[in-house]
Amino acid sequence: MSSQETEELAPTPDSPGPVDVEQAEAALVEHYPRLVRIAYLVLPPSLGRNRRVLTAHALVQRSLPRRRASGAGAGAVPGARRADEDAVDPGYAFVRGEVLRQALVAGLPLRRRALPRRAQFPPLLPMVWGLRVFPRAGGADELALDQRLSALSGPARAAYVLRGLERQGDPEVLRVLGAAGVADPKGALAEADGVEAQYVLLESPEFDPCSLQARPTDLMRRRQHGRAALVAAVAVAVCGALLGLPGDGWGRNGAAAPSYARNPAAEAALDPGGLKRVGTADWRISTRTDFSVWPVRGGLTEDRALLRRALAVWARPGPAVRASATPGTPPGPPMGSPQLLFAGEVDANRVVIFHDGLRVVRYAEPVGDASGVALDFARTDGADAVGSAALVVSRAGGNVRYLTAPWVREAAVRDLLLPGKAPRVLTRDAAGVTEPIPSPVTAASCTRWSALQLRDGSGTRLLTDLGELAPARLTAGPPDRPADVTGAAALGQWARIACRLPALSSHGVRTVNSWAYATQRLPEGAGRAEWWCARAETWRGTGSRSLALFGAPGATGPAAPAARSEGTPACGPKDPRVLAGVVWQARSGQWYVLAAGSKDFASLTLSGGVKAREEGPLLAVKAAAGSRADLTGTLDDGRRVGALR
C-alpha cells in the first residue's frame, strides 16, 4: 500500500479505542524480530551481549496486556490518526510501548531502599544452558555506533532508535517516550542529537538478537559445578527410591498425585484392562461415524504400565504435570472406563489418547525422562464425521502431526496464502499418523499458512491447527449454508483472511466460516473493495466470535479488521446479517467513512461527528480527519440494528 492511501485506521494507544489481547498478540507475533531488536538497542550494553539478548527476548514475550480490553461504544467507527502520529497498527504500538518501558526500567540501577522491579532481574525465560549467545559481528562502523550508543542514557538510546529504526518524527518520538514513562523526553531527544545519524546501521546483523552465534561458557567452571550437581542428583534419586517403595507412591503411577481416597468405581476406571477398545473394521458397519468408532491404534497399546500411568495422571495430575484444557472443557477424572484411541511413540514422546464421549484427552511423556509430562483436554461432544476426522497427536520443533480417522482416504497439506498452488500429499504410517507439517500458530510471522486437507468418501475438507487437540474446520459461504473450501473463489477468499485466524486460537474453536457479504465501489474511482465476515463457532456452543474484514482493491496482504465481536449471533446461522464500517483515505488525501451491510439492510445512518444517511446496504461519505461517528442500519422489516462490536 502506498503512503498516500490507508485501508483501515485504528486508534493509537493514547486514543479512546482499546487494544485487545488478541490484537496485541497478533502484532507481537508478526513483528517479533523488530520488537526484539528495539529492546536490544535500548537495553544498556553493560549487561553484556549474552544477557542483553536473552533480556530483549524476555521483555518482548511479556509485553501483552494483562486483561482483555473492554469494547468501545456501540457501532463506533475508528477515528483517523492525528498528523503527529505514526500510521502503525494499534496492537503493535501498544506492544512497542511496553517493550520500551520495560527496557528503560531494566537499565535503572538497583537501590537499597527501593523495591526492585521485574525488568531489573535476569530473565527466567527464555533460558540457555551451557552456551553463550550473541549477534553476529558487524564491521568497524557498527562497533563505533554501539560504543557511541553505550555512552547515552536509556531514554536517549530509545529516542535514537525511534528516529532511526521506526522512522518517526520528533513529535511522535516525544509522545512515545512520554507514554513509556520518560520524565524528560525533550532532554532525551537533545542527547540523541549528539550521535551521528547512521540509522541504516541499526538494521545490520550487529544489532539483530534473532540471528545469533553460540560459544561455550567457562568449561572448567562447568566441570566443577557438574560434579556438585551429580552428588545432589544421587541424593535425590536415593530419596525418591525410598519414597517409591511402600504404598501408592508415584513410582507406579508416574507423575500422578498421591491417591487420597479409595473408591471402587474410581479404581475400576483406572484399570488398563477395563479400557474400551474398538475393532479395526467396526466403523464400516456402525450407524455412527465419530470418535466412538475409531479403532485402537499405535505400537504401545499393550503397554499396561504406560496406560496405567496415563490413567493415573488423568485422574490425579501432580504439580509437575503441564495440563491444559480448551474453554468449557471439564478437566476432571474419567467418568468410567474411557475408550483407548491411540498409544504409541511419536517424536521422542510416548503418547496416549483417550475418548470418554465428552472429551478427548492426550497424555504425553518424554522417552527416558520422568519429567515433562503433559496432559491436554479438549471437548469434542457432538462431533460428526468431519469433526472427528483428525486429532493433533504431537507438536515438536514448530511442526504438528495429526492422527487421522480410519475413513480418511487421503491427507494433504495446502498453503492457504497460495490458493493457486496444488496441495502436497502427506504420508501416513500404519497407525494413521501424518508426517510433520509446519504449525501456523507457532510461526514467527504469517508468511504461509499450512492447512490440513482431508478426503473421505463424501468429499474434501479443509482443517487448520489453532493450538488445540481438535483442528478447526474451515468453510465458506452464507452462514445458513456454508460449504467446504474447495473452489477457486473460496480459496482466494481464505488467502486474504487466513492471517487473521490467530485471533481465534486457543478458544475451543470447532469451525470457522468466511462470508463475502458485500462488494463496494470506492469513491474517486479507486476500484471495488471486498467486505468479509469470519465467524468461529466453538465446541461448547457459546463464546462464538465474529470478525468483519475490509479488503482494499489491489491489495494482496491480509484483509484489515473493521470490527470484532464475541457472543453475538450476527454473521451466524441464527442471525445471518452483519454491518461494519472503517475510515479510509483516498489517494487525493480526502478521508471517507465507508460502511457495508449484508443485503437485507434497507438503509445506513451515521451520527455523531459525521452525519449522513444512504439508502441500501452501502455508504461512503466524506469526513474530516480525526472525526468519529456511530453507525446504525435499518433492515427491510424496519428494525434498527447497530454495527458489529
| Residue 368: other Cβ atoms inside 10 A | 7
CB-based contact 177:158 (threshold 8 Å): yes
Residue 7 located in a structural domain: no
The pLDDT of residue 137: 67
Closest CA to 204 of 41, 85, 315, 371: 41
- Cβ contacts of 540 within 8 Å, gap of 6 or more: 327, 328, 329, 379, 508
Residue 513 located in a structural domain: yes
Based on the domain organization, do 46 and 188 belong to the same domain?
yes
Phi, psi of 640, deg, nearest 5: -105, 135
| Residues 11, 14, 16, 17, CA torsion sign | positive
Based on the domain organization, do 182 and 280 belong to the same domain?
no
> 373 to each of 425, 585, 611, how far by Cα in Å?
32, 53, 60
Cell triple for 222: 562447568
Q: List the beta bridge partners of residue 214.
A: 133
Residue 202 is given by DSSP the state G
Closest CA to 27 of 63, 1, 56: 63
Helix %, strand %, coil % of the chain (to 5): 30, 30, 45
The pLDDT of residue 9: 27
Based on the domain organization, do 453 and 478 belong to the same domain?
no
> 477 to each of 480, 571, 572, how far by Cα in Å?
8, 11, 11
The pLDDT of residue 63: 84
Phi, psi of 564, deg, nearest 5: -145, 140
- Given phi > 0 = left and psi -120 to 50 = alpha, else beta, which region is 247? left
Amino acid letter for position 289: T
Q: Within the chain, which residues score under 70 in pLDDT?
A: 1-19, 66-88, 109-125, 127, 129-130, 134, 137-138, 215, 217-253, 255-266, 370
| Residue 132: other Cβ atoms inside 10 A | 17
Domain boundary among 462, 489, 514: 462
Based on the domain organization, do 122 and 187 belong to the same domain?
yes
Residue 50 located in a structural domain: yes
| Residues 30, 548, 568, 89, CA torsion sign | positive
Based on the domain organization, do 356 and 426 belong to the same domain?
no
Based on the domain organization, do 451 and 478 belong to the same domain?
no
**Measured distance CA(378)–CA(506) in Å, rounded:** 10
Chain center to CA of 50: 28
Domain boundary among 439, 462, 485: 462
Residue 572 is given by DSSP the state B
CA geometry: angle 574, 578, 579, nearest 5 deg = 155
**Measured distance CA(424)–CA(219) in Å, rounded:** 47
Based on the domain organization, do 186 and 75 belong to the same domain?
yes
**Model pTM score:** 0.63
Residue 624 located in a structural domain: yes
Based on the domain organization, do 194 and 315 belong to the same domain?
no
For residue 414, the enclosing domain spans 399-462
The two most distant CA atoms of the chain are separated, in Å, by 83
Phi, psi of 578, deg, nearest 5: -155, 150
The average confidence (pLDDT) of the chain is: 84
- Cβ contacts of 366 within 8 Å, gap of 6 or more: 348, 349, 350, 372, 373
Task: List, for residues 324-380, the tens digit of each pLDDT value.
Answer: 999 999 988 888 899 999 999 999 999 999 999 999 999 999 997 767 899 999 999
Based on the domain organization, do 313 and 412 belong to the same domain?
no
Based on the domain organization, do 96 and 121 belong to the same domain?
yes
Domain boundary among 462, 489, 507: 462
In the three-class reduction of DSSP (H, G, I as helix; E, B as strand; rest coil), residue 194 is classed as coil
Residue 181 located in a structural domain: yes
Give how many domains the chain has, as a whole number.
Answer: 4
CB-based contact 158:102 (threshold 8 Å): no
Residue 355 located in a structural domain: yes
Closest CA to 526 of 557, 559, 553: 553
Based on the domain organization, do 362 and 444 belong to the same domain?
no
Q: List the beta bridge partners of residue 270.
A: none
| Residue 572: other Cβ atoms inside 10 A | 20
The pLDDT of residue 47: 80
Closest CA to 585 of 622, 627, 634, 612: 622
The pLDDT of residue 167: 84
The pLDDT of residue 73: 36
**Measured distance CA(148)–CA(139) in Å, rounded:** 15
Based on the domain organization, do 124 and 271 belong to the same domain?
no
Residue 197 is given by DSSP the state -
Residue 492 located in a structural domain: yes
Residue 51 located in a structural domain: yes
